[in-house]
Chain A
């Protein structure tokens, strides 16, 4: 059987992430689901500040570059103005869980009908690999040079677990470290977007993604490290399932 390869139009040019970066995989999954739903001309993507800034020029739909951490509030405003459009916030863990923790929690708390995607790469990548609230215990970053001391800095934050305790529509955590997990993540992305389109309320999907550049590993070792260290702590799966219709 002949196999044809197609690329979603929204990501039909080379991305600008580092070779081996996990961001690109999530970009593609989101683009596929948007197009499946016929929303390629009806989506506004609010970008946080981080490596996702690269998407201003490579994600070919409407993007609003908002301030560091404020994507959930901006996406809320978009949804108020255009309830007929898909309003997505795409952020890094530093953006959504550190500087923007308040905005993220409050949008979830209100069960605002938006979809939030968070790339959890266990560090502030864009600024050169500083500690984030998702940095693993003992992980070396430029601001935790001796390894993260969780006694002084807190344990890695599990934001999806927190918001799944709220009255929200859908919450999941996936990963891009294997083909199998990528296919599961695709399902989570689909559920999150379709929850918004059905007016069910707030949806959030965290995607564990490798950052070979700032982890100081090649891609293969990055994926191995994720499987051995990150995934056991940040458990994968649906934390809040959509209500059966």
Chain B
């Protein structure tokens, strides 16, 4: 039976179901319900929850524990995720799994507590020093937050790479009716973990690391793209949106379709790797792409333009950037009409 759950509580409970044995984090709005929930829930399950002295320390606790193969995670928002970037770079350098939740708040610096997607470029491009990627999953509902979290440890361990669930303030704070999967544990053992015996950990000599990084990230990009295409078969204009803006964009598609407009939606679920394959499926009737995102200056739109180029879709790419709010259905429909009538200038 479905029950009403708050987004942050639900994602925390889903992590427990997925076999997470250790959490380390530091309070910051709008993700604090995650450590709060786990500080009660984990002792109940005989697991460990540590309130670290800061976000950096928390990510190194995760590095240490996952080096030993323990399913573990951290979460934060805004400046807290910035502090974790050094640790994420080390985790990637060592081919370690890890799970991170970023419940995004708006802005640089301290920012605000408003819902936003302004960490898109940092989180999909690596964010720390060196050339690496974090696998980024973007749910647009609380049920999907649960489902993606439930898979994330398996994905992180399969690729030996961190996985981030990119949530948004409103998605963490709102409530929806959801169902949880059963408790599970890792199937099989990891053969590279640190256990004191100094067995091989799969480390490569520096001279082989560049080629290995290229091979690893090319493989993930090829086989791990996920997205949802909605009414795109004959669409002339295609919205591209993830997370909460994808919900209002979908409403806009339905309303515009009801008025005879040929519009559709591509909703990336993996932000890295970006679902380029979704664009390969678009037909020659497409006249424009519209990125709908909660950013100030446009971030997702860069990937939309690159995907279009890769798929030889030579059409203008427009951007509707709503900053510290989520574009309403009406605003999206209006923006579309302005695009169609030539009143809007393309970004790319």
Interface residues of A (CB under 8 A from B): 39, 41-44, 46, 60-62, 64, 66-67, 70, 73-82, 85-87, 102-103, 106
CB distance from A106 to the nearest CB of B (A): 4
Determine if A78 and B90 form an interchain contact, defined as CB atoms under 8 angstroms apart: no
- B162 in the interface, Cβ–Cβ < 8 Å? no
With a cutoff of 8 Å between Cβ atoms, the chain A residues found around residue B50 in the complex are 76, 80
Determine if A76 and B61 form an interchain contact, defined as CB atoms under 8 angstroms apart: yes
Interface positions of B from 31 to 78, Cβ below 8 Å from A? 48, 50, 52-54, 56-58, 60-70, 72
Q: Which of B109-117, B194-202, B325-333 contacts A (4 or more CB under 8 A)?
A: B194-202
With a cutoff of 8 Å between Cβ atoms, the chain B residues found around residue A66 in the complex are 60, 63-64, 90
Determine if B197 and A41 form an interchain contact, defined as CB atoms under 8 angstroms apart: yes
With a cutoff of 8 Å between Cβ atoms, the chain B residues found around residue A60 in the complex are 198
With a cutoff of 8 Å between Cβ atoms, the chain B residues found around residue A41 in the complex are 196-198
Determine if B53 and A106 form an interchain contact, defined as CB atoms under 8 angstroms apart: yes
Determine if A78 and B87 form an interchain contact, defined as CB atoms under 8 angstroms apart: no
Determine if A77 and B196 form an interchain contact, defined as CB atoms under 8 angstroms apart: no
**Residue in B69, B87, B196 whose Cβ sees the most chain A Cβ within 10 Å:** B196
Which residue of A62, A70, A75, A80 is within 8 Å of B87 (Cβ)?
A70
Determine if A61 and B198 form an interchain contact, defined as CB atoms under 8 angstroms apart: yes
Docked Cα-Cα span, A46 to B195, in Å, equals: 13
Q: What number of B residues sit within 8 Å (CB to CB) of A?
A: 31
Determine if B63 and A74 form an interchain contact, defined as CB atoms under 8 angstroms apart: yes
Interface positions of B from 236 to 291, Cβ below 8 Å from A? none
CB distance from B328 to the nearest CB of A (A): 43
Docked Cα-Cα span, A77 to B98, in Å, equals: 12
CB distance from A205 to the nearest CB of B (A): 20
With a cutoff of 8 Å between Cβ atoms, the chain A residues found around residue B53 in the complex are 102-103, 106
Determine if B54 and A77 form an interchain contact, defined as CB atoms under 8 angstroms apart: no
Question: DSSP majority for the A interface?
Answer: mixed
- B86 in the interface, Cβ–Cβ < 8 Å? yes
Docked Cα-Cα span, A44 to B193, in Å, equals: 11
- B318 in the interface, Cβ–Cβ < 8 Å? no
Docked Cα-Cα span, A220 to B237, in Å, equals: 80
Q: Chain B 23-34, CB within 8 Å of chain A: the 1/0 string?
A: 010000000000
Which residue of B62, B87, B196, B198 is within 8 Å of A85 (Cβ)?
B196
Residue of B nearest to A10 (CB): B198
Determine if A64 and B64 form an interchain contact, defined as CB atoms under 8 angstroms apart: yes
With a cutoff of 8 Å between Cβ atoms, the chain B residues found around residue A64 in the complex are 63-64, 67, 194
Interface positions of B from 181 to 201, Cβ below 8 Å from A? 194-198
Determine if B65 and A78 form an interchain contact, defined as CB atoms under 8 angstroms apart: yes
With a cutoff of 8 Å between Cβ atoms, the chain A residues found around residue B90 in the complex are 66-67
Docked Cα-Cα span, A61 to B58, in Å, equals: 25
Given A70-B60, A74-B60, A74-B61, CB of A81 within 8 Å of CB of B198: no
Docked Cα-Cα span, A62 to B192, in Å, equals: 12
Docked Cα-Cα span, A79 to B69, in Å, equals: 12
With a cutoff of 8 Å between Cβ atoms, the chain B residues found around residue A44 in the complex are 67-68, 194, 196
- B106 in the interface, Cβ–Cβ < 8 Å? no
Determine if B68 and A67 form an interchain contact, defined as CB atoms under 8 angstroms apart: no
Determine if A80 and B60 form an interchain contact, defined as CB atoms under 8 angstroms apart: no
With a cutoff of 8 Å between Cβ atoms, the chain A residues found around residue B64 in the complex are 46, 64, 66, 73-81, 87
Given A70-B57, A70-B87, A77-B60, CB of A62 within 8 Å of CB of B65: no
**Residue in A41, A42, A82, A103 whose Cβ sees the most chain B Cβ within 10 Å:** A82
With a cutoff of 8 Å between Cβ atoms, the chain A residues found around residue B95 in the complex are none
CB distance from A65 to the nearest CB of B (A): 8
With a cutoff of 8 Å between Cβ atoms, the chain B residues found around residue A42 in the complex are 196
Determine if A103 and B57 form an interchain contact, defined as CB atoms under 8 angstroms apart: yes
Determine if B198 and A77 form an interchain contact, defined as CB atoms under 8 angstroms apart: no
19 A-B residue pairs with CB within 8 Å: A41-B197, A42-B196, A44-B68, A44-B194, A46-B64, A60-B198, A61-B196, A64-B63, A70-B57, A73-B57, A73-B64, A77-B22, A77-B64, A77-B72, A80-B50, A81-B65, A81-B69, A82-B70, A102-B54
Given A62-B196, A62-B197, CB of A78 within 8 Å of CB of B68: yes
CB distance from A57 to the nearest CB of B (A): 11
Docked Cα-Cα span, A217 to B297, in Å, equals: 58
Question: Closest 4 interchain pairs by CB?
Answer: A77-B64, A81-B68, A73-B60, A81-B70
Docked Cα-Cα span, A74 to B64, in Å, equals: 4
11 further A-B pairs in the complex, CB-CB below 8 A; given A77-B65, A82-B70 = A43-B196, A62-B196, A62-B198, A73-B56, A73-B64, A76-B50, A76-B60, A76-B64, A78-B65, A82-B195, A85-B68
Docked Cα-Cα span, A73 to B87, in Å, equals: 11
Residue of B nearest to A66 (CB): B60
Determine if B57 and A102 form an interchain contact, defined as CB atoms under 8 angstroms apart: yes
CB distance from B278 to the nearest CB of A (A): 37
CB distance from A66 to the nearest CB of B (A): 6
Determine if B70 and A62 form an interchain contact, defined as CB atoms under 8 angstroms apart: no
